[in-house]
């Protein structure tokens, strides 16, 4: 079946396992080829089952029920007389949340709950580096252990369907492949510390508007190909120990009582062995929830006894509406997780560590690879401090902190280096740094919002500039040699529980940027945000644009290092930046946000799949990001030309650094099926690899694409199907960059 591609035959014969990494093309160093690491998790052990059954046999009904619902804001009851501990949980995606009261959201005011603030999801995904996702999981896992937590409510991996989504900053990406490639190593790293991941929010929770009740309608193929792959990989590859049921409904049923999603797909098809934990106050029934797959109800401060899986469950037992055997099923799952985490069973657990220099270093490592260089006309960047007399730093985002803010989980930390501090720390003392706030973060008065209430009122901003601040900013711009303007958004403006109403940069920032650019046309614009914004006019007028994120404790340090050239930027956009909101699929199809129901009318064409299929030019494409050096992908050759569906396509690609600085490039491989009998997106990401190439050298990388990755989900047969046909691949450094093409045939 397999046939060698002629050009590849010689290559393969000479050096299949040899890398070429040369400063002169004639020299070949025999160092190992760069391949991707693969990550897989350990399943929940079965060896404790007999012990667990015996424990269950000794438990009273009340003790069992106490394990199935929150008895504080973030824990459940244990059974001390039997040595069963509480199950302790913590948010979340940005690091270990501060301790709150047992029965309300009020901070506990402790002085030992400082934690490392890690880059938010969009920052991690912009690094396009699975090894950093693993590092993140490892590092935050150690922090969770140090705080005595069993479950971390992370990662948050819902697909970015609309750029307006309030949690875009927290989630990873619009692409299911990138999503799963980051999700799996994150979970593996985390769970290696004996902390369970709680992968959220399962599933089809892609908007905040009406999230408590909106009924999401997605066709089956789109569900399988776009919205579920990362959740599936979390179970089948990473062996996640828990999953969070989302607030909303899917096809008419709330997700915490959705038998199709929980029992049929999650447990039935994927073999999930862990526990399903509800989102906070996402449960709507007792018997139905339990029977349809929910294990644990968590929530907000109504008396814990009144939870659906508390007194009402005891009531249902007494009336015969639910059996004790059913309850035992759920208790057993929780006990298995407690044993898997070594919270029981006597084996030692890692002690962990928190808020340490090492962890700040981990946060820095992620942040420094996530910054995206969008534009760099005339090589304005990196800045040279040598001989620089003064620098003007303008914009409230130069000093804004984002570890806390908005509605939703943040981190209490003593270390959040702002962009201004980052520059001050890194610039030589002789450079005079002058700061002007430029714009004010101001909101129109809002009514008191209640937990869980979805309101867009945060989006009502005051968009006029303050004349005095403007004057001060323009004076700084006129009187300093180099100007950097820090603009964008923040975690009060982009927040859980509400979606944005438009893509506009708030607080009058566009006007500020335009006026400053008139005074100093070499002003570097840095946008700090977690989601796309309309920066079309800035792209036209500014010569240099850098994009950074809610980037953790060392975000300002990483940013300064990029601006000053200590770090060569290697971040790539994890989503498409549209020119106009109405170019985006959910908006072009007028299917966001719906009211009681939302139908995902764009189907498979989420993100770049829509822009590329419909030939719409984005402002910046998915996968885009520049470097201070230049790269050329010289060749990309598959090992064979013809494959069977169970094969793996191995591609060898060369990446030359043709510039004068060492740098990292993300090689991206997109595929399309020729003459498919089903409609397919114009192209889909099927492999990527980040590689460090020293200046003037060439590296060879090997990427592996299992042929099964080329399958589509056949709704009729309800299975994945690899079509026998030709597949055309493009290789480049963004979804719109094609440097090399190759094709293979599947028979």
Two structure tokens written together for 271: 């073999």
Smallest gap from Cβ 483 to ligand BGC, in A, equals 39
Please calculate the CA angle 631-635-636 and round it to the nearest 5 degrees.
110
Nearer CB in complex with ligand BGC: 199/542:
199
Nearer CB in complex with ligand BGC: 280/360:
280
User: Quick one: which of 94, 160, 184, 409 contacts ligand BGC (CB under 6 A)?
Assistant: 409
Beta bridge partners of 745: 642, 726
The count of chain residues that interact with ligand BGC, using the rule CB under 6 A, is: 7
Nearer CB in complex with ligand BGC: 153/182:
153
| Residue with the two structure tokens 């090992």 | 639
Smallest gap from Cβ 146 to ligand BGC, in A, equals 20
CA 249 to chain centre: 23
Smallest gap from Cβ 274 to ligand BGC, in A, equals 16
What gap in Å lies between CA 627 and CA 664, rounded to an integer?
Answer: 8
Give, in order, the Cα–Cα distances in Å from 78 to each of 66, 70, 104, 286, 496. Answer: 7, 11, 20, 21, 31
Nearer CB in complex with ligand BGC: 491/572:
491
Two structure tokens written together for 419: 């962009």
Subset of 602-631 contacting ligand BGC (CB under 6 A): none
Smallest gap from Cβ 406 to ligand BGC, in A, equals 12
Give, in order, the Cα–Cα distances in Å from 669 to each of 126, 382, 432, 651, 663. Answer: 16, 29, 45, 10, 19
Are residues 95 and 115 in contact, defined by beta-carbon separation less than 8 angstroms?
Answer: yes
Subset of 521-550 contacting ligand BGC (CB under 6 A): none
Smallest gap from Cβ 186 to ligand BGC, in A, equals 15
What gap in Å lies between CA 180 and CA 169, rounded to an integer?
Answer: 17
Q: What single-letter DSSP state applies at residue 25?
A: T
Q: Is 140 an interacting residue with respect to ligand BGC (CB under 6 A)?
A: no
Assess whether 580 carries a catalytic annotation: no
User: Quick one: which of 280, 549, 712, 729 contacts ligand BGC (CB under 6 A)?
Assistant: 280
Nearer CB in complex with ligand BGC: 409/529:
409
Are residues 746 and 680 in contact, defined by beta-carbon separation less than 8 angstroms?
Answer: no
Query: Which DSSP string do the residues of 151-199 spell out, in sequence order?
Result: EEE--B-----STT-TTTTTS--S-HHHHHHHHHHHHHHHHTTT-EEEE
Smallest gap from Cβ 157 to ligand BGC, in A, equals 11
Two structure tokens written together for 589: 């199809």
Nearer CB in complex with ligand BGC: 411/558:
411
Q: Is 98 an interacting residue with respect to ligand BGC (CB under 6 A)?
A: no
What gap in Å lies between CA 22 and CA 656, rounded to an integer?
Answer: 10
Nearer CB in complex with ligand BGC: 140/436:
140
Give, in order, the Cα–Cα distances in Å from 207 to each of 210, 574, 586. Answer: 8, 18, 11
Subset of 180-219 contacting ligand BGC (CB under 6 A): 200
Subset of 4-63 contacting ligand BGC (CB under 6 A): none
Nearer CB in complex with ligand BGC: 208/561:
208
Smallest gap from Cβ 407 to ligand BGC, in A, equals 8
Nearer CB in complex with ligand BGC: 247/620:
247
Contacts of 31 (CB under 8 A, 6+ apart): 19, 21
Contacts of 123 (CB under 8 A, 6+ apart): 366, 367, 370, 530, 548, 549, 550, 551, 552, 555
- Measure CA of the first residue to CA of the last residue in the chain; give whole Å: 8
Q: What single-letter DSSP state applies at residue 588?
A: H
User: Quick one: which of 77, 86, 91, 142 contacts ligand BGC (CB under 6 A)?
Assistant: 91
Of the candidates 77, 175, 237, 279, the residue annotated as catalytic is 279
Smallest gap from Cβ 169 to ligand BGC, in A, equals 13
| 1 burial via Cβ count (<10 Å: 0-12, 13-18, 19+) | exposed
Nearer CB in complex with ligand BGC: 73/510:
73
Subset of 250-279 contacting ligand BGC (CB under 6 A): 279
Helix (H) or strand (E) holding 232: helix 229-236
- Cis preceding-peptide flag for 257 (omega within 30 of 0): no
Q: Is 153 an interacting residue with respect to ligand BGC (CB under 6 A)?
A: yes
User: Quick one: which of 70, 92, 95, 155 contacts ligand BGC (CB under 6 A)?
Assistant: 92
Two structure tokens written together for 620: 């910046």
What gap in Å lies between CA 529 and CA 544, rounded to an integer?
Answer: 17
Smallest gap from Cβ 455 to ligand BGC, in A, equals 14
Smallest gap from Cβ 84 to ligand BGC, in A, equals 23
Nearer CB in complex with ligand BGC: 280/547:
280
Buried b or exposed e, range 508-541, using 16+ CB within 10 angstroms: bbbebbeebbebbeebbbbbbbbbbbbbeebbeb
Smallest gap from Cβ 184 to ligand BGC, in A, equals 20
| Residue with the two structure tokens 């609309």 | 162
Catalytic residues: 279
Binding residues for ligand BGC, rule: CB under 6 A, are 91-92, 153, 200, 279-280, 409
């Amino acid at each position: 079946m397999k046939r060698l591609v002629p050009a590849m035959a010689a290559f393969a014969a000479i050096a299949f396992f040899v890398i070429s990494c040369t400063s002169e093309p004639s020299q070949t160093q025999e160092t190992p080829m760069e391949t991707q690491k693969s990550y897989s998790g350990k399943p929940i052990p079965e060896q404790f089952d007999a012990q667990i059954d015996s424990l269950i046999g000794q438990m009273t009904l009340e003790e069992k029920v106490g394990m199935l619902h929150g008895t504080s804001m973030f824990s459940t009851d244990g059974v001390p007389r039997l040595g069963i501990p509480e199950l302790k949980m913590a948010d979340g995606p940005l690091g270990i949340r501060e301790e709150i009261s047992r029965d309300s959201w009020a901070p506990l005011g402790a002085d030992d709950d400082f934690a490392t603030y890690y880059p938010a999801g969009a920052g991690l995904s912009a690094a396009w580096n699975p090894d950093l996702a693993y590092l993140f999981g490892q590092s935050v896992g150690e922090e969770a252990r140090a705080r005595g937590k069993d479950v971390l409510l992370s990662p948050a991996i819902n697909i970015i369907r609309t750029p307006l989504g309030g949690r875009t900053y927290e989630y990873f990406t619009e692409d299911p492949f990138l999503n799963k490639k980051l999700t799996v190593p994150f979970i593996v790293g985390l769970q290696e510390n004996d902390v369970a991941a709680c992968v959220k929010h399962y599933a089809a929770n892609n908007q905040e508007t009406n999230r408590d009740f909106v009924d999401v309608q997605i066709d089956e193929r789109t569900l399988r190909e776009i919205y579920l792959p990362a959740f599936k990989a979390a179970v089948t590859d990473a062996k996640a120990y828990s999953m969070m049921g989302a607030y909303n409904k899917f096809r008419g049923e709330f997700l915490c009582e959705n038998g199709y999603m929980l029992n049929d797909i999650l447990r039935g098809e994927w073999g999930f062995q862990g526990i399903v934990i509800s989102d906070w106050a996402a449960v709507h029934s007792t018997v139905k929830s339990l029977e349809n797959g929910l294990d644990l109800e968590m929530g907000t401060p109504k008396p814990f006894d009144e939870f659906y899986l508390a007194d009402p469950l005891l009531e249902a037992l007494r009336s015969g509406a639910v059996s004790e055997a059913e309850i035992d099923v759920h208790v057993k799952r929780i006990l298995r997780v407690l044993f898997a985490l070594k919270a029981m069973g006597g084996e030692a657990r890692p002690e962990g560590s928190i808020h340490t220099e090492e962890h700040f270093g981990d946060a820095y490592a992620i942040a420094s690879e996530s910054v995206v260089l969008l534009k760099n006309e005339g090589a304005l960047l990196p800045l040279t401090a040598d001989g620089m007399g003064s620098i003007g730093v303008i914009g409230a985002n130069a000093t804004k902190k984002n570890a806390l803010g908005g509605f939703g989980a943040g981190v209490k930390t003593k270390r959040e280096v702002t962009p201004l501090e980052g520059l001050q720390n890194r610039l030589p003392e002789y450079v005079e740094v002058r700061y002007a706030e430029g714009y004010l973060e101001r909101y129109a008065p809002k009514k008191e919002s209640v937990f869980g209430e979805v309101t867009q009122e945060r989006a009502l901003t005051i968009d006029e500039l303050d004349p005095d601040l403007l004057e001060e900013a323009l004076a700084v711009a006129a009187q300093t040699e180099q100007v950097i303007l820090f603009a964008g958004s923040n975690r009060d403006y982009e927040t859980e529980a509400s979606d944005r109403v438009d893509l506009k940069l708030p607080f009058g920032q566009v006007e500020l940027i335009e006026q400053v650019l008139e005074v100093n046309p070499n002003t570097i614009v840095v946008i700090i945000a977690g989601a796309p914004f309309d920066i079309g006019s800035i792209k036209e007028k500014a010569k240099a644009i850098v994009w950074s994120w809610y980037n953790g404790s060392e975000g300002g340090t990483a940013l300064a290092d990029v601006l000053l050239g200590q770090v060569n930027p290697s971040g790539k956009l994890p989503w498409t930046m549209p020119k106009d909101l109405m170019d985006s699929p959910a908006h072009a199809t007028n299917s966001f946000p719906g009211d009681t129901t939302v139908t995902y009318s764009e189907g498979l064409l989420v993100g770049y799949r829509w822009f590329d299929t419909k030939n719409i030019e984005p402002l910046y494409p998915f996968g885009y990001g520049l470097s201070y050096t230049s790269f050329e992908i010289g060749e990309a050759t598959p090992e064979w030309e013809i494959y069977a569906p169970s094969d793996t396509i191995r591609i060898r690609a060369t990446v030359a650094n043709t510039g004068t600085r060492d740098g990292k490039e993300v090689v991206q491989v997109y595929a399309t099926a020729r003459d498919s009998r089903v409609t397919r997106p114009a192209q889909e990401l099927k492999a990527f690899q980040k590689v460090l190439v020293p200046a003037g050298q060439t590296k060879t990388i090997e990427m592996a694409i299992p042929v099964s990755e080329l399958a589509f989900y056949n709704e009729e047969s309800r299975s994945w199907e690899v079509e026998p046909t030709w597949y055309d691949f493009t290789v480049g450094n963004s979804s719109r960059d094609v440097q090399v093409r190759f094709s293979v045939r599947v028979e």
